[in-house]
Structure 1
Amino acid sequence: MRALALAALVLLTACGAEAAAQRPGRYTADAITMLESPDHGPQLCSFVAESYPPQCGGPDVVGWDWSKVRHESANGTKWGSYRVVGTWDGSRLTLTEPAGEPRTIVVREQRFASPCPAPEGGWRPADPAKATQEALQATQQRLESEPSVGGVWLDQSYLDAIPGYDGSKPEWAEKYANDPTKLVLNVKFTGDLTGREAWIRETWGGPLCVSQARRSEAELRRVQESLGEGYVHTSVDIMKEQVTAGVWVATEELRHRLDAEHGAGVVILEPVLKPVD
């Protein structure tokens, strides 16, 4: 009898462990828009159409109660921004705790720096006559047709030296930003870099940094297009030479499949819902 009791205890313990392992984990999203309209119940939104009332579509949310949260409403539509926590079954989020106020998210202005070290005396035009907006636009258009280009961007680090500069104010940006005599044109190429700088100098005389790329932007665009539908969003990051794919929940199975199809680390998953357990 003791042996049977012990066996039963082991079996129950094993079943309990298996059930715990299969129990879905909890996920959270902060400052995400929740919206319900006459066409659908409460849903998570990744992007919101700029209309009034706003419109969006996304996964259903189970257990939502508008009477428990502050929200806006118009023409039968209710919406607001919240922090949510719940379990995910692959298509729906089931709340496991009341929705909360979104936490403050500070978004800092992103500056794209140059990989080249600054020359002695700082960045200066090599040919001031070609350091103009017209020359910059002509050079950028020329680079668009070059298949080995891995990315083109402008380094405007010189703005950091301007006391009190605020890029969010149009008058500041109009006065100081995009100065072709001070910004650094950055171009990455795949393959041999020999002759690349001289080729660009045919049309551009401002500060210039030419660097090596592992993948061309055209290659990354092809990867992006091959992903097809089913993602929240996709984008190309020329700085990291990766494709970002937005998903509601990132799974190891999907990561392994994308690595197998496109190479390790080429496609990076960006989940809306992040695990909390």
Structure 2
Amino acid sequence: MSTAAVYPESTARAFARAADLGYDGVEVMVQTEPASQDPIALAALADDFSMPVLSVHSPCLLVTARVWTSDPLVKLARSIDMAEQLGAGTVVVHPPFLWQRAAAATFTESVAELQDRTEVRIAVENMFPVKVRGTRVNSYRPHWNPVPAGHRWYTLDLSHTATSGSDAVELADQMGERLGHLHLADGSGSSKDEHLVPGRGAQPCAEILERLARNGFDGTVVVEISTRGQDADTREIDLAEALTFARLNLATTSETPVESAGNGH
């Protein structure tokens, strides 16, 4: 499970829940909690719970604006270093916010340069516009849709396709063989980034999973639902339901590991 799946519970609790529920591994969301930033502490948790770290999510959120540094590209480089230390195959990163001008000016070229130096997949995630006084505004640079930039790898997020009003199947097709990572969630199409349990919204979650299975997808599926505000029992039920949904719709392949994540990332 991702450490963010059980927010506001701790990183250690996330590893414990992932192990109890039968996930294959975790995606570590680097957050303000020190344990989520420390590869030695994370390696100890992975060993204690026999729960490998399969991916690392760079600290791209507003709440993590000053984790490690305020420079998104330095954050990315440190995330790659942590992934390499933990044996994780993927680092997830968002395009920079528009006010992060220095990083935004060189983001595409910098990601390509970093990718040349590592075997870890740097998978740039599709985001969404925000509403300002009723008008949809692109708050990311170069864009909330990273595909035109031509990155080597992408993360497809199915809550973000709902929020942006994108066609998830079409976006997956545009990513093609460069789709290296999936954030599995759902959304109703509201302006809020909902990260619902798959099957509870309007996104083609089952179809996307079935297509990946048929096409021999060799990346990782991360159950990225939000359980914030729920009691412990409801959180566990939702995470178990999401895992069952993923396994059922990936049934034509046994090679795609399934993680869990949450907190709207």
**TM over 0.5, yes or no?**
no
Between 1 and 2, higher relative CO (CA 8 Å, sep ≥ 6) is seen in: 2
Q: Which has the higher helix share?
A: 2
| Structure ranking higher in strand proportion | 1
User: TM-score by structure 1 length?
Assistant: 0.20
